């Protein structure tokens, strides 16, 4: 693939990925304001943006076998834990952006767990197996992720157990 096309695909992938998440957040906001059909429109458009992003990622050869995808996920989470979020927090602290510091910390702590879960999954795949079933619970306030039962209180943000979503 030629460099300019590859760069355009990467830029499109980033934009479509952001639009997917942004429109889901807009859907949640619309539904909270009792605009259910507008929320549905945002959800449908969000899904379309996800389709676009997936097609672009596929064109970039960014989807591989599960073991390779898991390694890419471990690498990404590790980068966020070791480099990205610590650096972002330092800047936000220096600029006294307390909310940004808190959000970066939420993400940093969750990413640590994600990396561990992906490593566990990769080990299973390398052994030719799927993971054994376990519930995965995610705090809807900060993104903290836990295997099994959600804690009574989120260890990162303090949200009550009811704020966890089970997968």
Tell me the C-alpha distance between 115 and 79, whole Å: 10
pLDDT at 131: 96
**Which H helix or E strand runs over 101?**
helix 98-126
pLDDT at 100: 98
Nearest to 133 by CA among 143, 146, 118, 148: 148
pLDDT at 28: 98
Q: What is the dihedral of CA 106, 22, 62, 107, to 10 degrees?
A: 0
Q: What is the mean pLDDT of each run of 10 residues along the chain (167 residues)?
A: 97 98 98 98 98 98 98 98 98 98 97 97 97 97 97 98 98
pLDDT at 70: 98
The answer to whether the CB of 145 falls within 8 A of the CB of 138 is yes
Tell me the C-alpha distance between 26 and 38, whole Å: 9
Tens-digit pLDDT profile for residues 24-61: 999 999 999 999 999 999 999 999 999 999 999 999 99
pLDDT at 67: 97
pLDDT at 10: 98
End-to-end CA gap in the chain: 38
């Amino acid at each position: 693939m030629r460099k300019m096309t590859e760069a355009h695909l990467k830029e499109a992938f980033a934009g479509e990925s952001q639009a997917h998440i942004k429109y889901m957040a807009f859907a949640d906001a619309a539904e909270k304001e009792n605009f259910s059909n507008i929320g549905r429109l945002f959800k449908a458009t969000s899904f379309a943006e996800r389709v676009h992003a997936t097609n672009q990622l596929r064109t970039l050869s960014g989807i591989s076998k599960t073991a390779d995808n898991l390694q890419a996920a471990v690498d990404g989470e590790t980068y966020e834990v070791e480099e990205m979020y610590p650096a972002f927090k330092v800047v936000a602290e220096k600029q006294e952006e307390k909310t940004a510091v808190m959000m970066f910390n939420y993400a940093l702590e969750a990413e640590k767990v994600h990396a561990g879960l992906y490593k566990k999954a990769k080990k299973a795949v390398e052994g030719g197996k799927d993971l054994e079933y376990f519930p995965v619970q995610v705090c809807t306030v900060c993104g903290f992720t836990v295997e099994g039962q959600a804690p009574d209180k989120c260890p990162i943000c303090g949200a009550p157990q009811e704020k966890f979503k089970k997968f």
